[in-house]
Amino acid sequence: MTDMLRALPGGRIAFQLWSSRSGPDLGTQFRRLKALGYTDVQPYHTQWDAPEEMKALLEETGLGCTTGHFTLEMFEQEFARVTASARILGLELAVAPFLPPERRPADADGWRALGRKLELLAARLADHGLDFAWHNHAFEFEPLPDGSLPIEHLLGDRLLFEIDVAWIARAGADPLPWLRRYAGRIPAVHVKDMAPPGMAADEGGWADLGQGVLDWDRLLPASIATGAGLLVLEHDLPSDWDRFARRSMDGLQSAVARAEAVRPLP
């Protein structure tokens, strides 16, 4: 592990399992991910039916699972199931990753009200030993009628932010100021890449890390400087999950090596 990755608390590199949802069984995936150098996995909303079985696979392969994605409806309607799954797997951070269009507020007041509800949810989860964070897509960075951005009202002064750098870029914004603005409130960073415009339509316009257009030589040091404890590699629609996992780990290591060559850590 390089000095830069050691700057991550625990030096953890996770794989978002949404990226391999069309892949083989979890045991096969976990063994492959461990061999590629991943330390953690990040499950998503439909993978909480059998947490004991997942725990056994994690122990067998030596992977960790400190974060997970749950729908907002699960937090609201199945809170006991969320906390039970988190306890079994040893989660430290529970993340809400999406808001369907019909639930998105139309103005700043609405987003602030949602943020206050999430703060109450965060306090409730804290009673169970869990941190809570919001995970963005592009819609939180699309201007409201008054010109402000939903993300600013939603996060307020306290909510933690699992920042997805590529979704910010897809919204047409520069991710770097947002990494700096919320430094200290970012427990995890989703690390992904975008294909050149008009390319990779069959993969949603996304790319394996290092194969796309995002400047990770600039964004990676800024991501680590936020104090995040976890980098999460993700591709929303890979045609080959194993190719993505392998090339993205290679891309991450290459970006780290280039960044350290330019500006070594003290």
State yes or no: pLDDT of 2 exceeds 70: no
CA-to-CA dists, residue 18 to 23, 186, 230, angstroms: 10, 21, 17
| Residue 116 pLDDT > 70 | yes
Topology of domain 3-262, CATH: TIM Barrel (3.20.20)
Give the model's confidence band at 257: pLDDT under 50 very low, under 70 low, under 90 confident, else very high.
confident
What pLDDT sits at residue 250? Answer: 96
Question: Is the Cβ–Cβ distance between 134 and 95 less than 8 Å?
Answer: yes
The strand pair at 206-207 and 193-194 is best described as: antiparallel
Q: Is the pLDDT of residue 4 over 60?
A: no
Where are the chain's structural domains?
Answer: 3-262
Residue 265: the pLDDT is: 44
